[in-house]
Chains A and B, each alone.
Chain A
Amino acid sequence: MNKIIKMAQVGNVDQNADCVIVIEPSENGNEILLESLVKAQYGDAIIASAQDELKKYDITNAKLTITDRGAIDCVLRARLEAVIKRGMGV
């Protein structure tokens, strides 16, 4: 099992088609907060991708705050991978 050991951030909120993700250690298991203009349409898919990336890195103590600006899945997953690695201190 891997741990998130520090707060980290990735992405640019000023760019369309991007998202900003903040990761920090959580004492309540994985928590995912999402803010997105397309939450009604794609919220479930975004959260599923986030859960999938956390699972890939065997993380169970992350609080993720995602502010989405219309990122497609491969961009969202790139941001998730980067922020998880930073949070792990890799």
Chain B
Amino acid sequence: MLFIPGANPKQIMFAATMGADSVIFDLEDSVSPLEKDSARILVRNILSTLDFSAIEIIVRVNSLNSPYWQADLDEIVPLKPAIIMTPKSETPDDIKTFAAYIEQVEEKHGIEKGSVKIMPLIETALGIENAFLIGKSSERVVALFLGAEDYSADLQCKRTKEGNEIDYARKRIVNAARACGVEVYDTPFTDAHDDEGIWADAAYAKSLGFTGKSSISPRHVDAINISFSPSQAEIDYAYEVIAAIAEGKAKGQGVVALKGKMIDAPVVLRAERTIAAAEQLGLGRK
């Protein structure tokens, strides 16, 4: 997931060519209050004119405590973006307020109800504590997203490259999202010039259970894509697991082992998910 500032025409126009699966067109923090109107119109015009069918379109609108969020949704929802990212999401009521307004706009423009999904951006201490309730607050919620810059400011601590200060939030949000049955995305690694640090940060996020990770720099997209894609060894092992299970079933075996290790239900589930992810990414068995 790549953030693109909503006030920069060139970056918006070329967003689909940066290698990210999803692009977050930002109308919030990267746009000055004086340019909120022009950015909203710019994003609307470019998204409705150029072909972005190769990427998932996400638009970060302004927060409920701003005077801009309704005008943002009025312009953006009719374009049927896949997802609206709702910043400063702290309570289930925040999401219900966004969802109700999105529904109004959908209805006004003859869009099927529920088409536009929501990804709450959780970036405060209260939001983290309410992550499960936020995830359960609307059928539209498809993923939770951790925003570490505002979160660490809310904790009144320094944001560091090591990220110890966000460790609790990362683990809490992953657990909450999985308990809700939705996806979960990690905060950007904000040092755009650190080409080594991104690898460690992405690997750690993956190890915690995040579905993916966002970036504010196109330079980090490859590291994130590679880190979150299954390795060839993982893909090959997944196919071996599925084959062993099929063989065991054919032989009427109750318990199946592969390379001396018992294959139980969680192993099969993980193998199925690995194969599904590999197929989605166009990766095959060697």
Contacts of B49 in A (CB 8 A): 73-74
Interface of chain B, main secondary structure: helix
Q: Which residue of A lies closest to B13 (CB)?
A: A17
A75 touches B37 (CB 8 A): no
Residue in B10, B38, B46 whose CB lies within 8 Å of A15: B10
A19 to B158, CA, bound (A): 39
Residues of A within 8 A of B13 (CB): 17, 72, 75
Chain A 14-33 residues near chain B, CB threshold 8 A:
15-18
Q: Are B37 and A17 in contact (CB under 8 A)?
A: no
Contact of B45 among A10, A12, A18, A74 (CB under 8 A): A74
Q: List, in ascending order, chain A residues with CB within 8 A of B10's CB.
A: 15-18
Chain B residues bordering chain A, tally (CB within 8 A): 15
Whether the Cβ atoms of A15 and B41 lie closer than 8 Å is: no
Output the nearest chain A residue to B35 by Cβ-Cβ distance. A10
The reply to whether A75 and B45 contact each other, CB–CB distance below 8 Å, is: yes
Number of A-B contacts (CB under 8 A): 44
Q: How far is the CA of A75 from the CA of B38 in the complex (A)?
A: 10
Given A15-B8, A72-B13, are A81 and B41 also a contact pair (CB < 8 Å)?
Answer: yes
Given contacts A82-B37, A85-B37, contact A75 B8 (CB under 8 A): no
Q: Which residues of A contact B46 (CB under 8 A)?
A: 74-75, 78
Contact A18 to B38, CB < 8 A, known contacts A74-B45, A75-B46, A78-B44: no
For the A-B complex with A74-B46, A74-B48, A75-B13 known, give 4 more contacts whose Cβ atoms are closer than 8 Å. A10-B38, A12-B7, A15-B9, A18-B8
25 pairs across A/B with beta carbons < 8 Å? A11-B38, A15-B8, A16-B10, A18-B8, A18-B10, A71-B9, A73-B49, A74-B46, A74-B48, A74-B49, A75-B9, A75-B13, A75-B46, A77-B45, A78-B9, A78-B38, A78-B41, A78-B42, A78-B45, A78-B46, A79-B42, A81-B41, A81-B45, A82-B42, A85-B37
B-binding residues in A (CB < 8 A):
10-12, 15-18, 71-75, 77-79, 81-82, 85-86
CB-based closest 10 A-B pairs: A74-B49, A82-B38, A78-B45, A17-B10, A78-B42, A74-B45, A75-B9, A78-B41, A17-B9, A18-B9
